[in-house]
Amino acid sequence: MERLGYELAELPRWNCCGTVYSLSTDDLMRHVAPVRNFVRVQEMGEGRLVTLCAMCYNTLRRSAQFVSADPERLQRINAFMDEEPDYRGGVEVLHLLQVLRDEITFEAVEAKVERPLYGLRVAPYYGCMLLRPRGVGIDDPDRPETMELLFEHLGAEAVDTPHRVECCGAYQTVADPGLARERVAEIVGAASRRGADLIVTSCPLCTYNLERHQLVAGDGRGTGARHASHVSRHGIPVLYFTQLLAFALGVPEEELGFADAAIDPRPALSQRVGG
Amino acid sequence: MAEELKLVRGYPEYMLESIERVHATRAKRMEEGPPPAMSMEEREEVLRFHPDYAPGGKRPLNVGPNKGEIAPNEVADLLEAYPVVDPGDLDLSVDIDVEVLILGGGLAGTMAALWANEEGIPPDRVLLATKLRHGDSNSVMAQGGTQAADKPYDSPVIHFLDAYGGGHFTNKPEVLRALVEDAPFIMKWLTELGCLFDRDENGEFVEDWGGGTSRPRMHAARDYTGMEELRVIRDEFRNRGFMLLEFYPAVELLTSPEGRVNGAILWNMETGEYKVVRAKAVVLATGGFGRLHIRGFPTTNHYGATADGLVLAYRAGAVLRDLDTVQYHPTGAAYPQQIVGLLITEKVRGLGAQVVNREGECFVYPLEPRDVEAAAIIRECYERELGVVTPTGMRGVWLDSPMIEEIHGEGTIERRLPAMFRMYKRFGIDMRKDPILVFPTLHYQNGGVETDPWGRTNVPGLFVAGEVSGGVHGKNRLMGNSTLDCLVFGRRAGIAAARYAEECPRPGPITLGHVERFVEELRAAGVPEGRRAPILLPDYRGKRVLARMIDLL
Amino acid sequence: MGQEIMERIREANEAVITGIDDADIKHWVTIYIMGKAYRVPADITLMQAIEYAGYRFVRGAGCRAGFCGACATVYRVAGDWRLKAALACQTRVEDGMYLVQIPFAPAGKPAYDLEKEPPEGSVLLRYFPELARCVACNTCTKACPQELEVMDYIQAALRGDLAAVTELSFDCIQCGLCSIRCPAEIVHYHVAQLARRLYGKSLPVPEHVEERVREVEAGKYAEEFERIMSLGREEIEELYRKEQREKGGLKSGDASRVTRNGRGEG
């Protein structure tokens, strides 16, 4: 972000967004964790909270709306958290993609590109948490274009895939790995058929699922790998959008964690972009 | 509610005048530095004010292996006491049979268990029994640090010299040598177990001065040193699955007809049931005697420090030594009343705080050996009459803690002495800004059961480690050598006990013959019948309640 | 003279050693020990008050100095809805206090072999998967008598940040009050213990320590020990005084400087 002239400050004493409990039936308890983070933002004297993760974004944004919609709920949460200053409301939750699009602007990003991604075919994968429900999502839930536009400004070609706004299987990966594998096979299969070099995500869990289940499916041992034949043996590398962005902005490769990827993205990148 | 004493910054109003004087003289005192350390002659002169040297506190023992030697009255009362169980009246059928029985759950006992296991005894053949919870001990209260001569400017030989001189050259040299030579290994071993000693920005250990040390070699973990050491090795103990009995003090050792120690009687403090444990070797790691309040002094010690181990070992024929000296820590809290006697670690003086009288004068070099420093404070309060009197009638002198922040920068106290800062804060006193009031407090049992460098005693089968043992510190222990003692000799006693157990084919029949013989000796010496030991716990119940108590159930 | 001073000291300490004399008490409060009312002196600790009332501790008292966690106590004060937690030995009585001690915390601890575990944050979740149940309610923090930011270190554990857990949990005395109150049933103090040990294990033993251990094992000091152990009293005293005087040429400021330690400010 420094390269883009934009400063993000880390929240002191941040806690988990509370996503594990985001579907809990207890309406109030699940908002304690998000609101505590908002209190920290307030204590910093700031009004906006940026997150990198689609799931955190969804949880935090929905909580922000939940408490601002009903002052009585907020009062009850504040009363429970009596050891903290009251949350007064008003913290705006943003996904980093929004910051890039609306504040920095993709044009400004383009101006800083040092390694244009000409020739690289990138399939954006949004998943569900970033776009739904309407009113929380950062873009049109059916026809999003934020990532497509970003990649084009980085010089790459955005590959349109039919499953880019569908679920990756999420936490079912624990309870029913077969189901997640099936989802991944479809998503990756479609990207593969359309000739994508890379899939790019905005959520760590999507990244995990897309990488891991691809490998299992690719080995032909996956139980639900109906589309296994469409997936190359080596799979399609999966990157976080920030990794691709930083690569285009000229951040040294060693800092980008490529070596930790389950499917090495470096061959694809060097082949197309020339490293 | 009735009106209460008005406090300002945690202190009664009448003390403020003296506190302001301490503030007013600080700059000058810091510039001039403390008075020089005393000469040997000056030391002797001031030691007349030490409770050990003032007459009236001790008497010769009339029975047992150390007959004729002197001990503090309170200790002699327990050594010359009848057993709490009638030796002829107990069913001695065995409840638990183990290779090694360890009595005491502090650093020494826990080390003994781990190292008996390292030596090959499986964890389910080692039983650790302790009077309170595993870890309730003086060990966890050790704040200041652990000495180990591991820097290039230092050597085990210099560590030896410091401790030998500090002990007035009465230490058992070969035992002391084991202490100082094992110390670097102990630091290495603890670090590998994940124990966190303070480090500097280069990852080197921060090593500080202590009273009577000629090199800085004190390793601390903030001011939770003993706690950090204990909780790490206790965690290791729990991982390995040793047998453990808590709230089960030993009330008597068991011996074979030839006089070997081969077990103990444990007593469930909650239900009253006793258990007979047979063991091939017994490690006594029961700690010291602070809760006997020798000469009426308050104490830094934990609730269970009642000399049980001395009593049991003495009856089994173990020779004791150096019991005639008692360590009074120069700086116990003298105010507020709620924390009287609690330890104000020597590290406070090590970090530069001066000891100052009512008039704001620094009257003693702050890092004299403990007995000298304590005697000087008593003299200042009771002979020169320059102490501050508390609302409950105690006297004390100021420890100028704000100097630490002046010397080392703001925030040092919270960082280096968080436990003490927290304690004073709980009672409304900010030790960063105001001095704290101190007076000597009963701290440590210098002597104990005589041991060789491997924790062996003159009684076969009986091993000792930690404060219950005698010899390594001679007649005065230096700061940072007690946790080290527990760690070094806990390990050595554990190893020696394991080897002994392996060589010993059978523990032999268990008897209380030694107790019967001891009772005869007591009767012959005319010891009054009512006196019983071990006492297990001190009694702090209200006087009015005790006066109107009847026992019905 | 010494003996007379000792008698005066004994008298001055009377209240602490043998219990308080009713005649000396000016201020009183009423507290409720497990529901039963007792009139006790104001200005004493909960522990002293329970004893004054006639109880003799078997459980519930340990070091009596705030280091061991044996005297964990929960209480409410009449008129205040909050449930508070404290160490009985470190807390002054208040009028209208209702208290009960929690001298034992049922908290399971998984066994692990530290030698086999890499010093990585992910180890924590493996042994304590319930960490992920934290709802950030902060009840643990409110229950901590040491005033540690317990929830913050649990969150740090969740992120696998061993250094942060170490720093935030270092002053933990393992009384267990956090774990008794936790709705997610996390055993905080065991989590922190494993985190600190993993972090500690990741720090190398300083080279000068390793070197000294090797020297001792090689018998480097044997000769010197034999020499000084054979000296007469006067010679060794002379040697001792010399070391005490010269202090190896080191000044008091040399080693006691305040420095950052490896796990952060400590």
CATH number at residue B251: 3.50.50.60
pLDDT, greater one: A273 or C197: C197
Domain for residue B350, yes or no? yes
Residues A266 and A133 in one domain: yes
- Chains in contact with B, where contact means 3 or more Cβ–Cβ distances below 8 Å, are C
pLDDT, greater one: A174 or B200: B200
At B74 the pLDDT is: 97
With a cut of 90, say whether residue A223 has pLDDT above it.
no
By CA distance, what is A36's nearest residue in C?
Answer: C136
Domain for residue A100, yes or no? no
CA distances from B180 to B197, B368, B471 (A): 18, 21, 14
The per-residue pLDDT of chain A, averaged, comes to 86
At B32 the pLDDT is: 94
At B503 the pLDDT is: 94
With a cut of 90, say whether residue A82 has pLDDT above it.
no
Nearest to A36 among C136, C142, C149 (CB): C136
Q: Nearest to residue B388, comparing CAs of B336, B327, B428? A: B336
Residues B314 and B424 in one domain: no
A45: confidence class by pLDDT, cuts 50, 70, 90: very high
Domain for residue C38, yes or no? yes
Residues A127 and A78 in one domain: no
Long-range contacts of A212-219 (CB under 8 A, 24+ apart): A212/A173, A212/A262, A213/A169, A213/A173, A213/A177, A213/A180, A213/A181, A213/A183, A213/A184, A213/A185, A214/A184, A214/A188, A214/A238, A214/A262, A214/A263, A215/A262, A215/A263, A216/A181, A217/A181, A217/A184, A217/A185, A217/A188
The per-residue pLDDT of chain B, averaged, comes to 95
Domain interval for residue B163: 83-325+446-503
Q: Which residue in B181, B326, B408, B416 has the most chain C C-beta atoms within 10 A of its own C-beta, making it the best mutation to test that interface?
A: B181
Residues B227 and B121 in one domain: yes
At B456 the pLDDT is: 98
Dist CA B93 CA B254 (whole Å): 12
Q: Which residues contact B6 (CB under 8 A, 6 or more apart)?
A: B12, B13
Domain for residue A195, yes or no? yes
With a cut of 80, say whether residue A233 has pLDDT above it.
no
At C256 the pLDDT is: 42
CB within 8 Å: A83 and C142: yes
Residues B423 and B456 in one domain: no
B370: confidence class by pLDDT, cuts 50, 70, 90: confident
- Average the pLDDT over C1-20 and give the result: 84
Residues A144 and A73 in one domain: no
Residues B182 and B130 in one domain: yes
With a cut of 60, say whether residue A220 has pLDDT above it.
no
A231: confidence class by pLDDT, cuts 50, 70, 90: very low
Residues B181 and B35 in one domain: no
Q: What is the CATH number of the domain that holds B402?
A: 3.90.700.10
What backbone torsions phi and psi does residue B450 show, to the nearest 5 degrees?
-65, 140
Domain for residue C218, yes or no? yes
Residues B369 and B314 in one domain: no
At B335 the pLDDT is: 94
Q: How does DSSP classify residue B296?
A: G
Residues A84 and A194 in one domain: no
With a cut of 80, say whether residue C261 has pLDDT above it.
no
Residues C156 and C186 in one domain: yes
Last residue of a domain, one of C75, C101, C127: C101
- B349 flagged as catalytic: yes
With a cut of 80, say whether residue A217 has pLDDT above it.
no
Count: domains in chain B? 2
At A227 the pLDDT is: 42
Alpha helices in A81-130 (DSSP H): 96-98, 106-111
C83 and chain A in contact, CB less than 8 A: no
Last residue of a domain, one of A95, A118, A152: A95
Structure-token pair, residue B502? 């392996």
B35: confidence class by pLDDT, cuts 50, 70, 90: very high
At B367 the pLDDT is: 87
pLDDT, greater one: C248 or C196: C196
CA angle B382, B388, B391 (to 5 degrees): 110
Q: Read off the pLDDT of residues C57-91 as tens digits, 9 standing for 90 and up.
A: 999 999 999 999 999 999 999 999 999 999 999 99
C202 and chain A in contact, CB less than 8 A: no
At B90 the pLDDT is: 93
Q: What is the CATH number of the domain that holds A187?
A: 3.40.50.11810
Q: Read off the pLDDT of residues B246-294 as tens digits, 9 standing for 90 and up.
A: 999 999 999 999 999 999 999 999 999 999 999 999 999 999 999 999 9
Residues A176 and A145 in one domain: yes
Dist CA C161 CA C167 (whole Å): 10
At C65 the pLDDT is: 92
Domain interval for residue A7: 2-95
Min distance C83 CA to chain B CA atoms (Å): 18
At B553 the pLDDT is: 83
Domain for residue C266, yes or no? no
Which pTM does this prediction carry? 0.90
Domain for residue A120, yes or no? yes
With a cut of 70, say whether residue A232 has pLDDT above it.
no
Q: How does DSSP classify residue A103?
A: I
B380 and chain C in contact, CB less than 8 A: no
At A229 the pLDDT is: 41
Count: domains in chain C? 3
Structure-token pair, residue A105? 């602007």
Min distance C177 CA to chain B CA atoms (Å): 16
pLDDT, greater one: A104 or A220: A104
At C265 the pLDDT is: 26
Count: domains in chain A? 2
Residues B334 and B213 in one domain: no
Burial bucket for residue B200 (CB in 10 Å: 0-12, 13-18, 19+): middle
CB within 8 Å: B423 and C90: yes
pLDDT, greater one: C1 or C63: C63
Domain for residue A164, yes or no? yes
At A175 the pLDDT is: 83
Residues A40 and A140 in one domain: no
With a cut of 70, say whether residue A176 has pLDDT above it.
yes
Last residue of a domain, one of A95, A124, A159: A95
pLDDT, greater one: B493 or B368: B493
Domain for residue C64, yes or no? yes
Whether C and A touch (3+ CB pairs < 8 Å), yes or no: yes
Q: Read off the pLDDT of residues B312-341 as tens digits, 9 standing for 90 and up.
A: 999 999 999 999 999 999 999 999 988 999
Domain interval for residue C94: 19-101
Residues A68 and A174 in one domain: no
Long-range contacts of A100-105 (CB under 8 A, 24+ apart): A100/A4, A100/A150, A100/A245, A101/A146, A101/A149, A101/A150, A103/A6, A104/A4, A104/A5, A104/A6
At A221 the pLDDT is: 41
Q: Which of B50, B159, B329, B379 is catalytic?
A: B329
